[in-house]
Amino acid sequence: KAGVTQTPRYLIKTRGQQVTLSCSPISGHRSVSWYQQTPGQGLQFLFEYFSETQRNKGNFPGRFSGRQFSNSRSEMNVSTLELGDSALYLCASSRGSGSPLHFGNGTRLTVT
Protein backbone atom coordinates (compact mmCIF):
# COMPACT_ATOMS: atom_id res chain seq x y z
CA LYS A 1 0.00 0.00 0.00
CA ALA A 2 1.48 3.36 -0.99
CA GLY A 3 2.19 5.79 1.83
CA VAL A 4 1.43 9.49 2.05
CA THR A 5 3.04 11.26 -0.89
CA GLN A 6 4.07 14.90 -0.74
CA THR A 7 5.29 16.91 -3.69
CA PRO A 8 7.61 18.57 -4.25
CA ARG A 9 10.23 17.49 -1.73
CA TYR A 10 12.16 20.73 -1.96
CA LEU A 11 11.10 24.21 -2.96
CA ILE A 12 12.91 27.52 -3.06
CA LYS A 13 10.83 30.67 -3.37
CA THR A 14 11.39 34.39 -3.10
CA ARG A 15 9.75 36.58 -0.48
CA GLY A 16 6.39 37.84 -1.71
CA GLN A 17 5.72 34.90 -4.00
CA GLN A 18 3.11 32.24 -3.39
CA VAL A 19 3.49 28.49 -3.23
CA THR A 20 1.28 25.41 -3.47
CA LEU A 21 2.18 22.12 -1.83
CA SER A 22 0.49 18.85 -2.65
CA CYS A 23 -0.38 15.80 -0.57
CA SER A 24 -1.79 12.46 -1.69
CA PRO A 25 -3.08 10.46 1.28
CA ILE A 26 -3.05 6.72 1.74
CA SER A 27 -5.83 5.11 -0.26
CA GLY A 28 -9.02 5.04 1.79
CA HIS A 29 -7.95 7.80 4.16
CA ARG A 30 -10.39 10.69 4.23
CA SER A 31 -8.65 12.93 6.76
CA VAL A 32 -5.64 15.02 5.77
CA SER A 33 -3.78 17.28 8.18
CA TRP A 34 -0.95 19.72 7.62
CA TYR A 35 1.83 20.67 10.01
CA GLN A 36 4.66 23.18 9.93
CA GLN A 37 7.95 22.14 11.49
CA THR A 38 10.66 24.68 12.34
CA PRO A 39 13.64 24.48 14.72
CA GLY A 40 12.29 27.33 16.82
CA GLN A 41 8.57 26.55 17.01
CA GLY A 42 8.67 22.79 16.58
CA LEU A 43 5.66 21.06 15.06
CA GLN A 44 2.61 23.22 14.72
CA PHE A 45 -0.80 22.22 13.41
CA LEU A 46 -2.00 24.16 10.37
CA PHE A 47 -5.33 22.63 9.43
CA GLU A 48 -7.24 19.41 8.91
CA TYR A 49 -9.60 18.43 6.13
CA PHE A 50 -12.11 15.63 6.19
CA SER A 51 -14.33 14.82 3.21
CA GLU A 52 -13.43 18.11 1.52
CA THR A 53 -14.36 20.20 4.59
CA GLN A 54 -11.95 22.03 6.84
CA ARG A 55 -12.56 20.54 10.25
CA ASN A 56 -9.86 22.23 12.32
CA LYS A 57 -7.59 25.19 11.88
CA GLY A 58 -4.46 26.14 13.76
CA ASN A 59 -3.29 29.58 14.73
CA PHE A 60 -1.78 30.74 11.45
CA PRO A 61 -2.48 33.86 9.41
CA GLY A 62 -4.91 33.85 6.52
CA ARG A 63 -2.00 33.62 4.08
CA PHE A 64 -2.05 29.92 4.81
CA SER A 65 -4.94 28.10 3.18
CA GLY A 66 -5.77 24.65 1.99
CA ARG A 67 -8.30 22.53 0.29
CA GLN A 68 -9.20 18.91 -0.21
CA PHE A 69 -10.50 17.33 -3.36
CA SER A 70 -13.10 14.61 -3.81
CA ASN A 71 -10.34 11.99 -4.12
CA SER A 72 -9.00 13.14 -0.69
CA ARG A 73 -5.87 14.67 -2.18
CA SER A 74 -5.06 17.95 -0.52
CA GLU A 75 -3.22 21.11 -1.39
CA MET A 76 -1.83 23.78 0.84
CA ASN A 77 -1.20 27.31 -0.37
CA VAL A 78 0.88 30.06 1.18
CA SER A 79 0.57 33.51 -0.33
CA THR A 80 2.88 36.50 0.04
CA LEU A 81 5.71 34.39 1.39
CA GLU A 82 7.80 35.68 4.26
CA LEU A 83 11.26 34.56 5.34
CA GLY A 84 9.70 33.04 8.46
CA ASP A 85 7.67 30.65 6.33
CA SER A 86 10.81 28.64 5.65
CA ALA A 87 10.06 25.28 7.19
CA LEU A 88 9.37 21.60 6.67
CA TYR A 89 5.70 21.15 5.84
CA LEU A 90 4.34 17.76 6.79
CA CYS A 91 1.13 16.20 5.62
CA ALA A 92 -0.56 13.35 7.44
CA SER A 93 -3.56 11.21 6.62
CA SER A 94 -5.84 8.92 8.59
CA ARG A 95 -9.06 7.00 8.17
CA GLY A 96 -10.67 9.25 10.75
CA SER A 97 -11.51 8.97 14.41
CA GLY A 98 -9.62 6.33 16.31
CA SER A 99 -6.96 5.67 13.70
CA PRO A 100 -3.40 7.00 13.84
CA LEU A 101 -1.88 9.66 11.59
CA HIS A 102 0.45 8.52 8.84
CA PHE A 103 2.92 11.17 7.74
CA GLY A 104 4.57 11.90 4.43
CA ASN A 105 8.23 12.81 3.96
CA GLY A 106 7.45 16.49 3.92
CA THR A 107 8.19 19.42 1.65
CA ARG A 108 11.18 21.56 2.60
CA LEU A 109 10.32 25.17 1.73
CA THR A 110 13.05 27.78 1.70
CA VAL A 111 12.09 31.44 1.28
CA THR A 112 14.89 33.78 0.23
Q: What residues line the site for other proteins (CB under 8 A)?
A: 31-33, 35, 42-43, 45, 48, 50, 55-56, 58, 88, 90, 92, 94, 96-106, 108
Nearer to other proteins, 19 or 66 (CB): 66
- DSSP secondary structure code for residue 52 in this structure: T
Indicate the residue among 71 and 99 with the shorter CB distance to other proteins: 99
Side chain identity at 69, as an amino acid letter? F
CB 67 within 8 A of CB 47: no
Question: Min. distance of Cβ 50 from other proteins in angstroms?
Answer: 7
What SS3 class is residue 106? coil
Least separation in angstroms between CB 16 and other proteins: 27
Q: How many other C-beta atoms are found inside a 10 Å radius of the C-beta of residue 46?
A: 21
